[in-house]
Amino acid sequence: MPKPILLTVDDDTDVLRAIERDLRSHYGGQYRVLASDSPQGALDVLKQLKLRSDHVALLLADQRMPMKDGVQFLQEAREIFPEAKRALLTAYADTNAAISAINEVGINYFFLKPWDPPEEQLYPQLDDLLDDWRASYRPAFEGIRLLGTRWSPRSYELRDFLARNHVPYQWLDVELTANDPETKRLLDALGPEQAANLPIVLFPDGTKLFESAPAEVAQKVGLRTRAQTDFYDLAIVGGGPAGLAAAVYGASEGLHTVIVEREAPGGQAGMSSRIENYLGFPTGLSGGDLARRAVVQAQRFGVEILSPQEAVAVRIEGPYRIVKLADGSEISCHALMIASGVQWRRLGAPGIDKLQGAGVYYGGGATEAITCKGETVYVVGGANSAGQAAMNFARYAERVVMLVRGESLSQTMSQYLIDQVQHTPNIQLWANASVAEVQGEQHLEAISVLCSDTNKMEHVPATSMFIFIGATPRTDWLANLVERDDHGFILTGPDLLWDGDRPKGWTLDRDPFLLETNVPGIFAVGDVRHGSVKRVASGVGEGSVAVQFIHQYLSKV
């Protein structure tokens, strides 16, 4: 914890300097001493300290000041730091005012001027006050604080971003905690104009970001979005399991490697609440944990991770593959690996788009699960990802309803998950059900469900709906360069050979390597690859195997 603060206020600068000097000489080792020559200036300072989560232990004010006397100042300061000890400096003639202030407004002590010698007239009394303060004080949260509202898509975006990037933060829902005195003090310290610009991110150094996007917050928390050099042996687009595995193997074998990741390292796996089938983890592990471990491992080998940063185009210049990034910058490399996975398929129901992030969510859920405590949650989809999400929500929600188009889960979900879902009493399966429409103004309020067995439409109230209805690759940015199948999955190796013929434009006297695309030196691994097995282990396997082909490719560049 940074040093707590002793703040003294006096309009008489000689007295101010003297008290400041005495406080500093005796308490400077343990406390930070601040001085202000005006009550209003001191109140402004206190508001800034509140926003930075600083701790104020003592407020010491002269009683006689123009505009605002010491008692008035201490009363107002108490609204901002109620736990700080409050003391007055008074002339002998003001003793009565000081005594009544003790009774009426809770002043803890008053000192007579002059206070010489301080060893007798000041320090012993202040020591007592500060001991009391230390004994009863509960430190405030010291990291990043995010103020917003649950139903605001921008607040959700930031919460999700911080959580997926493993940045610790405190979430303050200003509607839910409107009556919490500390939230009120924070909002008062911001003032009505600033407090209206939600979401607000408050950093311990006093920086405030209003209505900011993840990229701005990323810069502030030290996530890297710009490459350190402009050339790499290996550039990887996508920081999911496949990309991270390739990076670890590539960098550990001496390749200068960079990962470009649009959202947060971990990819889809990072959204999984429990991966139970990954070798070596008999009790399962969360996707967040897997991602965190993999990132540390990659960084240990010197991999640079640019996140959040998006690859938007690629071009070829001789032996160089040049990747254009969303901020306009470029990186060039000899070998490029596309490990961009798949993204959630959108549900085409009327009313749904405007409620995304405000009760309607695609995938995710890790950050939202806890906010659904005691509520009914709707999970749309019948595959493993929906099953895992339902199991996770069931720990917090009163009831989880799985909306499944088919008759049962048996065609779409692994048996171990079906067993878990069936043995969880607060998960209810609603089969033959598809979402036909969603309703809500500011946030989701109800959904209409079409039941294919009865052909009836049911309307149910709902506040949260999480959609897991499969995924598609987003590879349009590679369209004119890299060959893809009709669904956008990238073709590699043998899939590029038609009757033994090599792909159009291929000039090398060898076939494309197993995980190589129709462009020599551009590889594709994991879920984005045509025909891949959509699993963490296979993504990891492909990412690491591809590095062997990259070595062979680089040996001839």
Position 347: which residue type? L
**Cβ closest to ligand FAD, residue 24 vs residue 166:** 166
Q: How far apart are CA 251 and CA 302, in angstroms?
A: 7
Q: What is the nearest approach in angstroms of ligand FAD to the Cβ of residue 271? A: 5
Q: What is the nearest approach in angstroms of ligand FAD to the Cβ of residue 353? A: 21
Q: How far apart are CA 234 and CA 246, in angstroms?
A: 9
Q: Where do the DSSP E strands lie in 143-252?
A: 144-148, 169-173, 200-202, 208-210, 231-237
The H or E element containing residue 437 is strand 433-439
Q: How far apart are CA 304 and CA 40, in angstroms?
A: 48
Question: Which of 97-105, 206-214, 382-390, 403-411 is the region at the interface with ligand FAD (rule: CB under 6 A)?
Answer: 382-390
**Cβ closest to ligand FAD, residue 241 vs residue 440:** 241
Cα→Cα distances 463→110, 295, 443, 459, 533, Å: 55, 35, 7, 13, 35
**Cβ closest to ligand FAD, residue 214 vs residue 526:** 526
Q: What is the nearest approach in angstroms of ligand FAD to the Cβ of residue 69? A: 59
Q: What is the nearest approach in angstroms of ligand FAD to the Cβ of residue 312? A: 7
Q: What is the nearest approach in angstroms of ligand FAD to the Cβ of residue 288? A: 11
How many other C-beta atoms can be found within 10 angstroms of the C-beta atom of residue 62? Answer: 25
Q: How far apart are CA 482 and CA 516, in angstroms?
A: 10
**Cβ closest to ligand FAD, residue 145 vs residue 262:** 262
Report the residue from 388, 463, 464, 517 that binds ligand FAD according to the rule CB under 6 A: 388
Q: How many CA atoms lie within 13 A of 7 on its CB side?
A: 30
Q: What is the nearest approach in angstroms of ligand FAD to the Cβ of residue 493? A: 16
Question: Which of 36-44, 137-145, 491-499, 528-536 is the region at the interface with ligand FAD (rule: CB under 6 A)?
Answer: 528-536
Closest residue to bound ligand FAD by CB = 341
Q: What is the nearest approach in angstroms of ligand FAD to the Cβ of residue 429? A: 18
Question: Which of 82-90, 223-231, 380-388, 397-405 is the region at the interface with ligand FAD (rule: CB under 6 A)?
Answer: 380-388
Both tokens of 2, joined, read 């940074």
Q: How many CA atoms lie within 13 A of 494 on its CB side?
A: 2
Per-residue mark of binding to ligand FAD, 294-313 (x: CB under 6 A): ----------------xx--
Report the residue from 118, 214, 359, 363 that binds ligand FAD according to the rule CB under 6 A: 363
Both tokens of 89, joined, read 């400096």
Report the residue from 108, 165, 384, 392 that binds ligand FAD according to the rule CB under 6 A: 384
Q: How far is CA 350 from the centre of its chain?
A: 30
Q: How far apart are CA 393 and CA 96, in angstroms?
A: 62
**Cβ closest to ligand FAD, residue 183 vs residue 420:** 420
536 binds ligand FAD (CB under 6 A): yes
Instruction: List own/partner pairs for 282-287 with CB under 8 A and 24 or more apart.
Output: none
272 binds ligand FAD (CB under 6 A): yes
Question: Which of 132-140, 428-436, 500-508, 530-538 is the region at the interface with ligand FAD (rule: CB under 6 A)?
Answer: 530-538
* SS3 assignment for 465-489: EEECCCEECCCHHHCCCCCECCCCC
Q: How far apart are CA 369 and CA 85, in angstroms?
A: 40
CA dihedral 109, 110, 114, 115 (to 10 degrees): -10
**Cβ closest to ligand FAD, residue 214 vs residue 539:** 539
3-state secondary structure of 554: helix
Query: Rounded to a whole number, what is the distance in angstroms from the first to the last CA of the chain?
Result: 54
Helix axes 39-51, 70-80, angle to 10 degrees: 10
392 binds ligand FAD (CB under 6 A): no
**Cβ closest to ligand FAD, residue 88 vs residue 540:** 540
214 binds ligand FAD (CB under 6 A): no
Backbone angles phi, psi at 60, to 5 degrees: -125, 115
**Cβ closest to ligand FAD, residue 77 vs residue 342:** 342
**Binding residues for ligand FAD restricted to 323-352, rule: CB under 6 A:** 339-342
Report the residue from 269, 337, 377, 462 that binds ligand FAD according to the rule CB under 6 A: 269
**Cβ closest to ligand FAD, residue 80 vs residue 339:** 339
277 binds ligand FAD (CB under 6 A): yes
**Binding residues for ligand FAD restricted to 229-268, rule: CB under 6 A:** 237-243, 260-263, 267-268
Binding residues for ligand FAD, total number by CB under 6 A: 38
**Binding residues for ligand FAD restricted to 104-133, rule: CB under 6 A:** none
**Binding residues for ligand FAD restricted to 441-500, rule: CB under 6 A:** 474
Position 338: which residue type? I
Question: Which of 394-402, 424-432, 485-493, 523-531 is the region at the interface with ligand FAD (rule: CB under 6 A)?
Answer: 523-531
| Residues in CB range of 281: below 8 A, 6 or more apart | 275
Cα→Cα distances 322→111, 236, 332, 334, 521, Å: 72, 12, 4, 9, 12
Decide: 473 and 512 in contact? Cβ < 8 Å. Answer: no
Q: What is the nearest approach in angstroms of ligand FAD to the Cβ of residue 240? A: 2
Q: Which residues bind ligand FAD (CB under 6 A)?
A: 237-243, 260-263, 267-269, 271-272, 275-277, 310-311, 339-342, 363, 384-385, 388, 474, 526-528, 534-537, 539
